[in-house]
Amino acid sequence: MATKVLELRIHGVSNTPPAGTLGTTATPIRIVGDDVTGFYRTSDVEPGKGVIVEAYSWGQLTSGKPGEGGEGERAKRDLQRGLWMLLLPFALGNVALFARPDVPADPAKERLRTSAGLNAWLIRVFCLGLTVTLALAATGVGADLVGWQCRNTACLGRLPGPWEFLASGWWAVGARPVAVGLLAPVVVLVAS
């Protein structure tokens, strides 16, 4: 039985089209996905070839096309695209766990002494590091920027949402705004 290898090519921030990422002049075929993101292959795949080349195109997540609905609808789509981009490293980490070459049929038999077990352990440590990094970033934004540095009405009025109540009354005393800002990492961890 011939071994097949999948080579996945992902373009950078220049939004290279799938044909350019695949290095072909033939029109690529979308295997899965939609107009925003998708996996593409060339139409001239040679049967029996050991390496299958696919391209992942994600450029429309950040650039997109202006559409109907006005500026508010465009801002909403842009925010949604940006939030999906936050999840991309987690998705790729999850895919990496199952794309290892030596994945055992029974995960209970995966031991640290084998190369597959060591690879799985390293991928899980990497994914844990991603989660910790995201939680620390949310802590920095919530506690430092919102709770500590931005304590007056003018600054809080520029933030999206009803945050002006933090500038006066019971909330403005001592470290209470920082405590409210620490809700950001809690929300991030619950959402993830």
| Helices marked H in 58-141 | 70-98, 115-139
Q: Which two tokens stand for residue 56?
A: 């992942």
Q: Which amino acid is at 74?
A: R
Question: How far is it, in rounded angstroms, from Cα 134 to Cα 131?
Answer: 5
Mean pLDDT of the chain: 79
pTM here?
0.53
Look at residue 107 in the predicted model and tell me its pLDDT. Answer: 64
Per residue in 95-113, pLDDT tens? Answer: 888 777 776 666 666 666 6
Q: What's the CA gap between 50 and 46, in Å, rounded?
A: 9
pLDDT tens-digit profile of 127-136?
Answer: 999 989 988 9
d(CA 10, CA 179): 41
Torsion of CA 167, 173, 174, 180, to 10 degrees: -60
